[in-house]
Amino acid sequence: MLIAGNWKMFKGPAEARSFFESFEQPDGVDVIVCPPFASLAAAVESGITTYAQNVHWEPTGAYTGEISPPMLRELGVHGALVGHSERRQLFGERDEAVARRARAALEAGLGVIACVGETIEQRESGDTELVLTIQVEAIAFAAGTYENLVLAYEPVWAIGTGRTATPEQAREAHAFIKGLLDRPVLYGGSVKPENAAELLGQPGIDGALVGGASLEPDSFAAICRAAAEL
C-alpha cells in the first residue's frame, strides 16, 4: 500500500522541517511526500521518500520555471507527480505533455505518479470512461512498460471540494483503469482519516494520493496507519 501526500503550494522549508519533526511513519506502508520545489531539499533531508510535483521532459534548456529529471536526481528526489488535475485545468497541460514528462522521468530512473480523472461535467454526461481511456492510453503508449510507473485516479470534482467518490465509484474507476494499463492505481480526491479505511479497503485501490489531509502530521499519519492495517 502506497500513501503519497501532495502539499501543493504549501509549506516552505521551515514549515516542512517542522512537519517532519512531528510526523511518525508507521511500519507496513510506503509513504511519499510531494512538497513544493522550494522544500524538496528539506524533505530529502528527512529521509522520507520525496517526489516533486512536476518535471520537464528535457534534461536542460530554455524552459523558464521548469525543472529537469537530472536536477531532481541530483537533489536526492526519488520521483515526480505528472498530470495532476490542477496542472491540466489551471496550466493547460495536455495528455501529450503529461506523457512526455512521465517518460522522461522514468527514463532518468525516477518514479512517477501519473494522474488521471474526469470533471463533474464529463461524469454527468457519461464520458468518464472515454476521458480515462484517452488519458491512460497516452501515458501507456509513452511509458506503460516502466515498473516505476504508478497511476492515480483523481476525480476532479472531488479535489479540494470535500466531495469524495463513493467506494463503488472508486472501485469501478480503478477496475476500468487497470483494464487499460495494469499498474498500481492510487485514489485521490478528498481522502481523510475518516474515509481512508473504507476507500483503501476496496479491491483494486492500491493506496491514496492525499491533498489537504497530508498537510498536518497527525491526519497524514492516521491515513498511513489505516493503510498499514489493511
Give the residue numbers marked as catalytic. 84, 154
Burial of 199 (0-12, 13-18, 19+ CB in 10 A): buried
In sequence order, what DSSP letters do the residues of 40-104 get, joined into one string?
HHHHHHHTSEEEES---SSSSSS-TT---HHHHHHHT--EEEE--HHHHHHH---HHHHHHHHHH
3-state secondary structure of 18: helix
Nearest to 221 by CA among 210, 112, 186: 210
Let me know if 47 is exposed, middle or buried by CB neighbors in 10 A (0-12, 13-18, 19+).
exposed
Neighbours of 3 (CB within 10 A): 28
